[in-house]
């Protein structure tokens, strides 16, 4: 008779938690990079488009989120 064994999970719960944290940080970075809506779409405001949040903070958050994702994938199970 053959035994029905369930395949071993590729990741543990802690890996999935780290992945979730990474996805949330990446989403936050994307949200900050997108910014808000302009009151008048016909007027170009360079301080809003080239703000520190959009140019510096958001990409750093996205890279941190990607690093967390790599950590979560390569984290060894106990």
- Give the pLDDT score at 2: 59
Half-sphere exposure of 63 (CA within 13 A, CB side): 6
Q: Is the pLDDT of residue 1 over 60?
A: no
Q: Is the pLDDT of residue 19 over 90?
A: yes
- Cα separation, 17 vs 51, in Å, equals 32
pTM for this structure?
Answer: 0.81
């Amino acid at each position: 008779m053959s035994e029905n064994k369930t395949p071993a999970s590729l990741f543990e719960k802690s890996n999935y938690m780290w992945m979730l944290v990474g996805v949330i940080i990446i989403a936050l970075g994307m949200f900050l990079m997108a910014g808000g809506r302009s009151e008048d779409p016909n007027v170009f405001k360079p301080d809003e488009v080239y703000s520190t949040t959009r140019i510096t903070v958001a990409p750093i958050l996205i890279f941190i989120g990607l690093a967390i994702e790599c950590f979560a994938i390569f984290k060894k199970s106990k």
